[in-house]
Amino acid sequence: MPADLFAVPTVLLERFTALGVDVARVMRLAGVPMSRFAIAGPPAARTQRNGAPSVDGKARLTTREFLAVWRALETVGGRDLGLRIASQALPHQLDVATMAALHAADLGDALRKKARYKRLSCPQDITVEIRGGEARVRYHWTRAEGELPMLLVDTTFANTLALARRGTGTQVTPLRLELARRRVDPAALTRHFGCPIRFDAPADVLVFDAAALAIPFVTHNADLVAMLLPGLEAALDERPGRTLADDVRLALRRRMTGERPSVDQLARDLHIAPRTLQRRLGELGTSYQSLLDDVRHQAARNLLSTTDLDASEIAFLLGFEELNSFSRAFHAWEGASPLQWRARASRAPASKRATRPRPVGGQARPARPRRLTKPARALAAAKRSIPTRASTKPRAAAHERRSRQPPAHPRSPAGPG
């Protein structure tokens, strides 16, 4: 897949329709013609946006188009749609990355496989950070600009929980769900995930007990995995490479937790010498400081528009030593103070504040879409084998205390799935 294209299968539209969603209306609101999706009929009759045949039954949407579809789904389908999508997925509706994950040895192996192969169908990174006995699962939409649709975040984490429960055959329960948004639908989320929900968090994170990663999968099938992986690895080899600037942005986002990562720290994260890192970024027409400013700017906009964290807490999270430094930087980016911008954003519809132009330095030119290579018979066999059941210091200290609060009732996996 090129750097900024999502492969959206027509089976996803079938899932929406089965849940009572008016798909045609969704696409009209999103500004995405239905003709972008493959239509019924022989391959010669299936067309894509450029008129070329689409033989794999998928539309290629840019990140902006993909997010527009999910915002339209929030309007048409209701806020609980994401939880229903995850609960009612059938085996033949799963993507290839989820299929590989479902037949992994355990939950940790499943998350690693999903993280590796999800990149074949969309510009998304999945990270699992082990810290303090917790496994923190986080999704990064690498080309997203502005706030993410809440429905997309809910669906993503609900799908992750469904994978864990279906794979282990147990009612795996997270320790908590952290959401970078104001308090919305707490009862529905608590009921579905079965754990405390923490709103106004710095980032969207699903937190498991680290011990849960070792729970074996009852769906594990080593023979099927062995048949699937060569095709997936071949597809990864054919995939256009990410740029170093993309990797730097992702590493910076991971460290937006109250520190200002230095060039040396970033170079260690990327296993590259600091001078080499700076030289290669210069060759891409960008720099460490430029990328740090871009990531901070995006993070500041997201936290101001979606949470009730005050400016000093946000300044701390973004690694500014003083509130004044953050305020000056934000004014240079937006021509307004953080509080003025938040007041303006709260009056604007989500579609108006969702995106902004991104600097193009260092981004790879999208390549032609490549058809995914995979062992079709093995994939079909895998699907048939699955059960079908359904100063900032005072604020910094306050944030530190809140982020370290233990969950009210940590739970260990128990009971039948």
Cite the beta strand spans of 107-218 per DSSP E: 124-131, 134-141, 170-171, 176-178, 197-198, 205-209
pLDDT band at 186 (very low <50, low <70, confident <90, very high): very high
d(CA 163, CA 172): 10
The reported pTM is: 0.71
- The pLDDT tens digits for 227-242 are 888 788 877 776 666 6
**CATH level 3 topology of 243-353:** Arc Repressor Mutant, subunit A (1.10.10)
Tell me the H-state helices in 174-243: 186-193, 222-238
CATH 1.10.10.60 positions along the chain are 243-353
- Looking at residue 258, what is its pLDDT? 79
- Angle of helix 244-254 versus helix 288-306 axis, rounded to 10: 50
Copy the structure tokens of residue 31. 């500004």
- The pLDDT tens digits for 116-148 are 888 887 888 899 999 999 999 999 888 887 788
Taking residues 281-301, what's their average pLDDT? 90
Tell me the H-state helices in 31-142: 63-77, 81-87, 96-102, 107-117
- Pair 76, 29: CB distance under 8 Å: yes
Report the share of the chain in percent with pLDDT over 70: 75
Task: Check whether 377 has a pLDDT greater than 70.
Answer: no
**Residue 2: what residue type?**
P
- Pair 1, 239: CB distance under 8 Å: yes
Task: Check whether 411 has a pLDDT greater than 50.
Answer: no
d(CA 256, CA 203): 9
Copy the structure tokens of residue 66. 């993909």
Q: What is the dihedral of CA 324, 325, 328, 333, to 10 degrees?
A: -140
